[in-house]
Copies of this chain bind each other. A is one copy, B any other.
Amino acid sequence: MKRWNNVAIIGVGLLGGSIGLALLERGLARSVTGIGRRAASLRKARQRGAVTSTTTQLARGVADAELIVVCTPVESIVQHTLLAAASCPGGLITDVGSTKSSIVNAVDRQLNRFPRPRATYVGSHPLAGSEKTGAQHARPDLFEGRVVVVTPSRHTPAAARDSIETFWKSVGAVLVRKSPQEHDRAVATISHLPHLVAAALAATARADELPLVGGGWLDTTRVAGGDVELWRQILSDNRRHVLNSLSKFERVLAGCRRALESNDGKKLSQLLQRGKCNRDAVGD
């Protein structure tokens, strides 16, 4: 397994902190620099043992890094990636953004104008988020057995793509390779739509009904407790695919409505069975 001299992590929340912990606990990096805007977050990451040094100066923090992982909210990733590329021309950069097309396109387009030698960028998306945020919830095994989608574009050198895939495997992830567009279409249905639906479901309950919630409601709405601004950015950025997935969902739900309205038990069973088949195919 490759051992990195220095890895810089921009944004040391749940994902960034967990990457640092995984690298250090597995002896995969000699040092990990945590970069952030807020001293309090950096302190938390250091206390958690997720980084070996911290700085609020992005340019200084990435200067000596072999690998830079951008773990900031979706709307900041392009800017942080380009700033890192400008300060670390030899660096290999990836990110953990939940959307990929707009980020990969923007980075590719602008990175192409940088003078050579220039940094290399490969988009990633670990499907390992949580409604919990902050380095205090970071775990060295967060990526263990979890899917990470790597999204090379036609501008991505194969060697850089392979290095990033090896990096994710080294922290325990299961690799899936997709184009940025394929990625965005799939996660719209599998991640972004469930978030929107969970939030809408949680918002539908009245305060006087909440004392009655059981395990079903708690599971079904869990992700609605996630950070509102992070998810606003994700849903906005991927809204074209999310709207398509929402249309598909609305059609299924309209079928459920018709089955209930006409008290068509057979049809209702078929719809429930379709959901159960998909759910059972995945397990826990």
Contact = CB atoms under 8 A, between A and B. Distances in A.
A199 B272 contact: yes
A191 interface: yes
Contacts of A127: 212-215
Interface stretch (A20-28, A34-42, A89-97, A252-260): A252-260
A246 B194 CA distance: 16
Contacts of A252: 200, 203-204
Interface size class of A (residues with CB under 8 A): 35 or more
A194 B176 contact: no
A222 to B, nearest CB: 4
Contacts of A206: 189
A276 B229 CA distance: 11
B189 A205 contact: yes
Indicate how many identical chains form the complex. 2
A186 B199 contact: no
Contact of A197 (B187, B197, B224): B197
Contacts of A199: 256, 271-272, 274-276
A217 B252 CA distance: 17
A204 B198 contact: no
B218 A253 contact: no
B219 A220 contact: yes
B223 A216 contact: yes
A226 interface: yes
Given A189-B209, A224-B276, 15 more contacts: A130-B215, A189-B204, A191-B217, A199-B275, A199-B276, A201-B249, A207-B278, A216-B223, A217-B282, A218-B282, A221-B279, A222-B284, A231-B272, A236-B263, A246-B253
Interface of A: 127-130, 146-147, 149, 176, 186-187, 189-191, 193-226, 228-229, 231-232, 235-236, 239, 242-243, 245-246, 248-250, 252-253, 256-257, 260-261, 263, 265, 268-269, 271-276, 278-282, 284
